[in-house]
Amino acid sequence: MAYEHHNAAYDLDLFDDELNFSTTAPKRHEEETRQKQTRKKQSHRNKVVTLPEEEIHKIRRRKHNPLKLVLGSAAALAVTFVIGVIIVGQVQLTELNQQIITAEKDLANSESIYIQNQMKVESTLSDAEIEKYATEVLGMTKASNAQKEFVALESGDKAEVSEQQDSNIITRFFESLSNLWS
């Protein structure tokens, strides 16, 4: 064969069966096919990797580091706890917000009812209505000059200060000093 390069990119021996270049030399063609078959067998042999049974069992029975397992579990528990606390906090916050909203609605309704009742009371308790109720139901009349009593004061207004009887000498002295300044 003219091309004896063993580079895979230029290995034209792979295509010899299809192209059939070697029609003139059948012996050479047989040799080439034998060489190809031996190369294929060798390449197939090199591709299979066998491991001993002990290595296979070691890979299957992979030992884990207990410290890493404990630390990983503790970290997972801590993350789970923190996430749980956040979720519970959000739920409580939502419930409190709902309570605030309902309380505000109740307050607005109560204020509306209060204003309505105040307006009803004010409309029913006008001066004319009160006077009408007093004259018709209670039998009251307006006060006349005959019903009025006048009180006369002859001597004017007086104010008397009573003194304590149980006063000792020291308190009398302080009172006399205070009377001097007043």
pLDDT at 84: 96
Percent residues over pLDDT 70 in the chain? 66
* Of residues 5, 49, 1, 44, the one with CA closest to residue 23: 1
pLDDT at 33: 77
Task: Answer positive or negative: Cα dihedral of 81, 85, 87, 91.
Answer: positive
Of residues 168 and 23, which shows the higher confidence score?
168
pLDDT at 133: 85
pLDDT at 93 over 50: yes
**pLDDT tens readout for residues 18-53:** 555 444 455 666 777 777 777 766 655 556 667 777
Look at the block and give the residue holding tokens 């060489």.
35
Q: How does residue 116 score in pLDDT terms, banded at 50, 70 and 90?
A: very high
pLDDT at 90: 96
d(CA 138, CA 132): 9
pLDDT at 1 over 50: no
**pLDDT tens readout for residues 47-90:** 666 777 777 777 776 677 889 889 999 999 999 999 999 999 99
Q: How does residue 127 score in pLDDT terms, banded at 50, 70 and 90?
A: confident
Of residues 158 and 101, which shows the higher confidence score?
101
d(CA 127, CA 153): 35
d(CA 56, CA 54): 5
Report CA 35 to chain centroid distance, whole Å: 76
Give the mean pLDDT of the chain: 77
pLDDT at 7 over 60: no
pLDDT at 112 over 90: yes
